[in-house]
Amino acid sequence: WSSDVCSSDLTGGSGISNNYGVQINGYLKANGGDITVTGNANLNPTTSNFNTGIGVSNSTLTTQGSGKISLTGTGSSTASSPGISLSLTGITTQSGNIDLVGNATNGNEGVDISYYSYIDSVMGNLIITGNTDQTTTGVTIAGTTLAAPNININGNTISIFNSSGDVGVIFPSIEGKGGTLSLQTFASGAPLSLNINSPDVFRNGGFSQINLGQPGGTGSLTLTGDTVFSDPVTRSEEHTSELQSP
């Protein structure tokens, strides 16, 4: 699908399972405008699973010029129903921002980005937000490359880890282009948990500053697993973590 502007707002059905709000499998390109997708899974089922707000697999989403890409997905409360799920997918812009917002409840992830995926903006910003309850992972990044001038990842719990594929282990990488990387919660007093099992995810650097937690915030910061930061790091006021920087 190639067009000047791509936009959709859909709600999933009421079957037994797999009631996606929006499911994308293919090529989606906006030649001069934006790509905007809103997907709401069936929010009422009591027994069905896999009700994802927006599911994107084996796909490419791209815009030209200043075109933005915005995905907003809301999953159901049943099992395996994230707000947004990406796998084997590339998302790219030139100067437009990329904004992913996933809403989930009941133990489901807000945004789940898995192996062989990449998200890259040449000059625009990348914002990933996982709206979940305090005990649920807001954003999961597995075997995926993220690259943009400024990257902001929001969630009470952010998990980053390797992924196993047909060609072996896929290592995640978060790379900057001169701006800042922020890993933070939604409120200055909320605790932030970072679960990182890939020590080299930040090795390529490229950021002028990395902010962990809300700048000047009072919430605790817990880092599970060791990792190496190649750029200057600022932490929230309270923290229990193991941080390494060369």
For residue 209, give the nearest of 179, 239, 186 by alpha carbon.
179
The predicted structure's pLDDT at residue 155: 93
Q: Does residue 239 register a pLDDT over 50?
A: no
Residue the block writes with tokens 């072996």: 168
**Taking the alpha carbons of 117, 153, 207, 222 in that order, is the dihedral positive or negative?**
negative
pLDDT in tens, 150-196: 999 999 899 999 987 655 788 899 999 999 999 998 777 778 899 99
Global pTM? 0.90
Q: Does residue 83 register a pLDDT over 50?
A: yes
State how far the Cα of 236 lies from the Cα of 215, in Å rounded to an integer.
Answer: 6
The predicted structure's pLDDT at residue 244: 45
Average pLDDT along the chain: 85
pLDDT in tens, 144-162: 999 999 999 999 899 999 9
Confidence of residue 15 (pLDDT cuts 50, 70, 90): low
Average pLDDT of 4-25? 66
The predicted structure's pLDDT at residue 4: 56
The predicted structure's pLDDT at residue 236: 62
244 within 8 A of 228, measured Cβ to Cβ:
yes
Q: Does residue 246 register a pLDDT over 60?
A: no
Average pLDDT of 103-126? 93
Q: Does residue 111 register a pLDDT over 80?
A: yes
